[in-house]
Amino acid sequence: MEQIRRQQSSNVLMTGGTGFLGSHLVRRLLGVGSRVTLLARRTETPSARDLSSRGALVVSCDLGRPNDAIDPSQQAQLAKIGRPDLMLHFAAETALHAPTLQASNVDGTQRALDLAAALDVPYFVYASSIEAQGLTSDQQGPLKEEVPCRPVSAYGRSKQAAEDLVSVWGMQPGRGALVLRIGNIYGPGSAWMLESSLMTLLGVTSFHSVWPQLRHRRFQPLYVDDLVEGVLRAVEARLTGLYNLTGDAPVSVEEYLEQLTGLLGQRDLWAARLAGLLDQSSHAPVAPDFAYLLMGEADRCHRLYDNTKLKGDIGSYGRWSLRRGLAATLRWYHEAGRLTSLLHSVRQRELQPCTSH
């Protein structure tokens, strides 16, 4: 798609700015001098207070709820910031299957678009998901943006429907819209894949029954700082249309665990788990993030997406290797006290007496 006028954004309206992805992006925007107004469901969370202290204006509003649209007093508050240069819509319900997906991800996106139109915002950026695209096979390889969507979850279908709304909005005169299919982001602030891997390593969750299918599943982890870099470059270039925003280096689940256990110095423990030398209850559940990666058909099971279109327009945005990113995420996880908490939970579980039914 063609680029619309290229300029540095200085007045940004955003939803989802207090979440994991959004908060990293907001901090970067504030760091380069942008004015940022956040629409947030809760204005008293630690993230909202932190961003407010850094200079963001936080307005209470949940566009995912039909009765919580912008009221006149909030309209007046937003009017004081002037006409936004762009609106970033990052708010979403992320559960794979939930009764609120339509209201949050589809209807909520329409309300965000209506607000952008009411404020005469010229440029709208939607954070979609690779789940809208679906999965690929070894034979098909990484999916390009134009490949027909085959989502495997209700969440993916809701994001696909929202993409269509954004595309229609962007076709109106004087408007531009960018849809970024984002996937498998990790880093400080999110325990995605890390905690599930630790739970399996420690024997809290089971994997032996699914390991033959799980070990070869491939995905593209993208460190959160690289996500921010990609979004900011795309916004600066005023790209429009649909782009995959993913990592450059696909890994299998087995390769991911090898990297993680190497950083932890626990390769022997992991080898013992793989060999079945340590007791592991067959009744233990599969870790949530592993269950996510097990979705799909036997042959169509990989989360691999072609990002050459985006790199062709903004250049390479990836700087963090998986090893470096995992090390930084582990450090955050430990400093936040979550590793200690997890180890304590495991210890308490081991001390519980066995009961028979």
Please give the single-letter amino acid code of residue 128: S
- Residue 128 confidence (pLDDT): 98
Cα 164-230-84 angle, rounded to 5 deg: 65
Extract the runs of DSSP E, i.e. beta strands, from the chain: 11-15, 35-40, 57-60, 86-89, 123-129, 136-137, 176-182, 185-186, 218-219, 222-223, 241-245, 251-252, 300-302
| Cα–Cα distance for residue pair 21/61, rounded to 1 Å | 19
The total number of structural domains that make up the chain = 1
Can you give the pLDDT at residue 5?
39
Tell me, yes or no, whether 261 lies in a domain: no
User: Contact, 118 vs 83, CB < 8 A?
Assistant: no
- Res 116: pLDDT: 93
pLDDT of residue 285: 84
Identify whether 22 is part of a domain: yes
Q: Is the residue at 341 inside a domain?
A: no
Structure tokens at 350: 């081991």
Compute and round to an integer the Cα radius of gyration of the chain. Answer: 21
Write out the two tokens for 302.
């990989």
Predicted confidence (pLDDT) per residue in 68-113, tens digit: 556 666 666 677 778 899 999 999 999 999 999 999 999 999 999 9
SS3 355: coil
Q: Which two tokens stand for residue 316?
A: 């390479």
Going by their DSSP bridges, the two strands 136-137 and 300-302 should be labelled as antiparallel
Q: Pick the closest to residue 130 from 222, 226, 194, 17 (CA basis).
A: 222
Cα gap 352→347, rounded to integer Å:
9
Show Cβ contacts of residue 198 under 8 Å, excluding neighbours closer than 6 positions.
339, 342
Task: Provide the CATH number for the domain around residue 66.
Answer: 3.40.50.720
Give the SS3 label for residue 260: helix
Q: 3-state class of 191 per DSSP? A: coil
Q: What does the buried/exposed string (b/e) look like for 102-121 if buried means 16 or more CB atoms within 10 Å of the residue's CB?
A: bbbbbbbbebbbebbeebeb
Nearest Cα neighbor of 294 from 303, 282, 281 is 303
The helix/strand/coil state of 165 is helix
Identify whether 298 is part of a domain: no
* DSSP structure class, residue 284: S
Q: What is the pLDDT of residue 277?
A: 57
Whose structure tokens read 């270039």?
237
Residue 299: inside a domain, yes or no?
no
Q: How far apart are CA 140 and CA 311, in angstroms?
A: 21
For residue 171, what are the domain limits?
11-186+221-249+305-314
In a domain, 19, yes or no: yes
The answer to whether 326 and 259 are in contact (CB under 8 A) is yes
Residue 129 backbone phi and psi in degrees, to 5: -145, 150
Residues of the chain with pLDDT under 70: 1-9, 64-77, 277-283, 348-357
Pick from 239, 235, 246, 244: nearest CA to 87 = 235
Is 124 among the domain residues?
Answer: yes
* Residue-wise pLDDT tens digits, 131-156: 999 999 999 999 999 999 999 999 99
Paired sense of beta strands 35-40 and 57-60, if any: parallel
Strand pairing of 222-223 and 185-186?
parallel
Residues in the chain: 357
